[in-house]
Amino acid sequence: MINFPLLIADDIEVKVKQCTKSGVLLLLYKTARTDARILDETVGPMNWECRYADIKGNLYCGVGIREKEEQEFVWKWDCGIESDQDDGQEKKAEASDAFKRACSRLGIGRELYTSPKIWADIATVQKGDKYFLEDKFASYYVSKIEYNEKSRSIIGLEIRNVKTGTVVYTLEPTRKTLSAASDLDFDDKKEVSKPKKSEPKKKEEKEEIREVQNEPVEKEDLKTLVRQIGNMVKSLTEKEGSPAKYKEIVKQVTGDTKFKCNVATEDDYDTVLAIRDELVASGLNA
């Protein structure tokens, strides 16, 4: 059985997902380059490969792995999300996203789905009806991360400003999470990374990942959220045989299993968003 290592701080990128009047929503993610490196280090460069296929107009990527060269490859596939970039790199970004999602299905970086919602107290300014970072050149990095080794879930997290080193977000391990984990020294230096984004990005990195820290992020519309939830519930039902987990999440968020996302109005937007985020946190792809 192939067990992929948990991501360390240096493997994880941070981007601004949304700017609001009261702060900023940050998102953790991994790059395709990190996935490829982990595959090389874990199974060896000769024991994995990827393929792409256009299925009903959607770009899918399959990643196959094996433990030994004489074995057959085991494949996992997933679909990339179309990029809203307008710089000639749209197709490359979609292919990269499909590859990263396929790698997540293999287990690489799946622990990022357990991340809490990261609201950081970062100064913003309003321009028209949108909010932007007050420091438009600000960027952020993960300085510490800790896991429950058994559940492979995030229990400790620290995010800092690259330029100033200021801590903008902290999640401290609780007594409950510490007692359930093994080898949990949150101050372990091996989990701490120095700012790496202070160095200029290489050209190829800029082509692969569109930097969005300094741009406002458009709010996803309600129909998109409902469609994503529908796809995840379908996947969950096929996997577990019933939508029980979905009903459990709805009750957790709303306190009532009778809430229906497909008839929700704009007044219910935050509730629908919370349900979508909880489904993603449970390991499903939107």
Burial 210-225 (b: 16+ CB within 10 A, else e): beebeebbeeeebeeb
Q: Is the pLDDT of residue 78 over 80?
A: yes
- Do 201 and 255 belong together in one domain? no
Q: Is the pLDDT of residue 194 over 60?
A: no
Burial class (CB in 10 A: 0-12, 13-18, 19+), 66: middle
- Tens of pLDDT along 268-280? 887 888 888 788 7
Residue 89 binned pLDDT confidence (cut-offs 50, 70, 90): confident
Better pLDDT: 285 or 246: 246
- Do 188 and 241 belong together in one domain? no
- Tell me whether residue 250 is in a domain: yes
- Do 239 and 146 belong together in one domain? no
- CA 129, 135, 137: angle at the middle one, nearest 5? 110
Of 29-38, 184-193, 272-281, the poorest mean pLDDT is in 184-193
For the record, the structure tokens of 57 come out as 């107009």
CA distances from 4 to 104, 105, 247 (A): 10, 12, 31
- Do 160 and 234 belong together in one domain? no
- Do 265 and 198 belong together in one domain? no
- In this prediction, residue 270 carries a pLDDT of 79
Q: Among the three residues 181, 208, 235, which one is the final residue of a domain in this structure?
A: 208
- In this prediction, residue 187 carries a pLDDT of 42
Contact between residue 272 and residue 264 where contact means Cβ atoms under 8 Å apart: yes
- Tell me whether residue 131 is in a domain: yes
- Tell me whether residue 102 is in a domain: yes
Better pLDDT: 166 or 187: 166
- Do 109 and 24 belong together in one domain? yes
- Do 52 and 153 belong together in one domain? yes
- Residue 116 makes CB contacts below 8 A (sequence gap 6+) with 154, 157, 171
Which among 95, 109, 114, 24 is positioned nearest to 53, based on CA atoms? 95
- Tens of pLDDT along 97-138? 999 999 999 999 999 999 999 999 999 999 999 999 999 999
- Do 37 and 169 belong together in one domain? yes
User: Average pLDDT of 222-241?
Assistant: 83
- Do 128 and 233 belong together in one domain? no
- Tell me whether residue 83 is in a domain: yes
DSSP state of 108: T
- In this prediction, residue 219 carries a pLDDT of 58
- Do 126 and 33 belong together in one domain? yes
Better pLDDT: 224 or 206: 224
- Tell me whether residue 20 is in a domain: yes
Q: Is the pLDDT of residue 183 over 50?
A: no
Q: From CA 152, how far away is CA 3, in angstroms rounded?
A: 12
Residue 256 binned pLDDT confidence (cut-offs 50, 70, 90): confident
Residue 263 binned pLDDT confidence (cut-offs 50, 70, 90): confident
- Tell me whether residue 213 is in a domain: no
Which among 168, 155, 173, 285 is positioned nearest to 231, based on CA atoms? 285
* Three-state secondary structure call for residue 129: coil
Q: How far is CA 228 from the centre of its chain?
A: 15
- In this prediction, residue 243 carries a pLDDT of 81
Domain that holds residue 276: 222-281
- Tell me whether residue 108 is in a domain: yes
Q: Is the pLDDT of residue 222 over 80?
A: yes
- Do 121 and 69 belong together in one domain? yes
Q: Is the pTM of this model over 0.85?
A: no
Q: Among the three residues 180, 208, 236, which one is the final residue of a domain in this structure?
A: 208
Q: Among the three residues 179, 208, 237, which one is the final residue of a domain in this structure?
A: 208
Contact between residue 232 and residue 281 where contact means Cβ atoms under 8 Å apart: no
Q: Is the pLDDT of residue 192 over 60?
A: no
Work out how many domains the chain is built from and give that number: 2
- Tell me whether residue 216 is in a domain: no
- Do 25 and 82 belong together in one domain? yes
